[in-house]
Structure 1
Amino acid sequence: MRPFNRLASILLLLSLIASCEALNITPPEVHITIINDLLNTMPIIVHCSSPAKDFGAFTIPKLGKLPFSFQPIPLLSEDVNCSVEWGGQTHNFDFYVYKRDKDRGNVCCSWTVKEDGPCVQVNQFSSTCYPWK
């Protein structure tokens, strides 16, 4: 891409973001909770990040919870990927994907970490489970 075209694209993107903020159509803050639901009593270490922010690494004991929040950036992919480690194993999963989760509301996702993969609570009575990446 030519430097002028790249600069024009960046300026257009910034003006669109500013317009969204001026019109107050920014998406609400997203709240995510990750719960250690392994069968054993081992703690898990969870390290989450998005393209815009590193949320850090946290140790979650058995049945412990890690709540965190973030403000999505309009027009940009704001996926949140986490590595989850226990007993010498490390797994990865996108605990927030804008296209998948945007319609769940701002108290988006309550995830339980299981050996086979994470499960998200869909409603009071059911959840959907995914395999680790």
Structure 2
Amino acid sequence: MKVSNDLENGLVLTIHCKSKNDDLGVHALPNGGTFEFFNFKPNFYATTQFYCSTDWNGALHYFDIYIYRIDLDRCKTICWWSVKEGGPCLYNLDSGKYDICSPWN
């Protein structure tokens, strides 16, 4: 799992990702910086969900970075996210672009 700061104007992105059972801590990403986490496995009940809060210049937003029932197939090989002002976008292996975009929660 990887998250990139692709905010405009060189803004620093503060990101805090966690699940019901795991808190991955707060990270300040410079423009173009990334945060990666590995070694998580879906739970026995197939209900694993990670979400992230993001903040820049006082703008606080949330998004689901991994929901088992949605992301099991689309994140089998890579699961890379780009955070932009308008919302997070997932890397699409078919197009080679970050074009699977979601609104903020």
Say whether the fold is shared (TM-score over 0.5): yes
Out of 41, 62, 66, the residue aligned to residue 10 of structure 2 is: 41
Aligned partners of 2:3 and 2:80 also within 8 Å = yes
Quote the sequence identity (%): 36
Matched, 1:92 2:62: yes
Runs of 4+ in 1 over 3 A off after TM superposition: 105-108
State the Cα deviation string for residues 63-93 of structure 1 (Å, max 9, x = none).
Answer: 0010002122121411101000000110000
What is the DSSP-based 3-state SS (H/G/I as helix, E as strand, rest coil) of the residue aligned with 1:119? strand
| Length-normalised TM-score, structure 1 | 0.72
Task: Give 1 or 2: higher strand fraction.
Answer: 2
Could you tell me which amino acid in structure 2 is paired with residue 118 of structure 1?
P
Aligned to 2:100: 128
Aligned to 2:72: 102
What is the DSSP-based 3-state SS (H/G/I as helix, E as strand, rest coil) of the residue aligned with 2:8? coil
The size of the alignment, in residue pairs, is 102
Alpha-carbon separation, structure 2, partners of 1:90 and 1:110:
21
Residue 104 of structure 1 deviates from its aligned partner by 2.4
Aligned partners of 1:36 and 1:63 also within 8 Å = yes
Could you tell me which amino acid in structure 2 is paired with residue 39 of structure 1?
E
What is the DSSP-based 3-state SS (H/G/I as helix, E as strand, rest coil) of the residue aligned with 1:40? helix
Aligned to 2:48: 78
Greater RCO structure (CA 8 Å; 6+ sep)? 2
Could you tell me which amino acid in structure 1 is paired with residue 28 of structure 2?
T
Task: Give 1 or 2: higher helix fraction.
Answer: 1
Could you tell me which amino acid in structure 1 is paired with residue 84 of structure 2?
K
Aligned partners of 1:101 and 1:108 also within 8 Å = no
RMSD of aligned alpha carbons: 1.3
**Structure 2 gap ranges (5+):** none
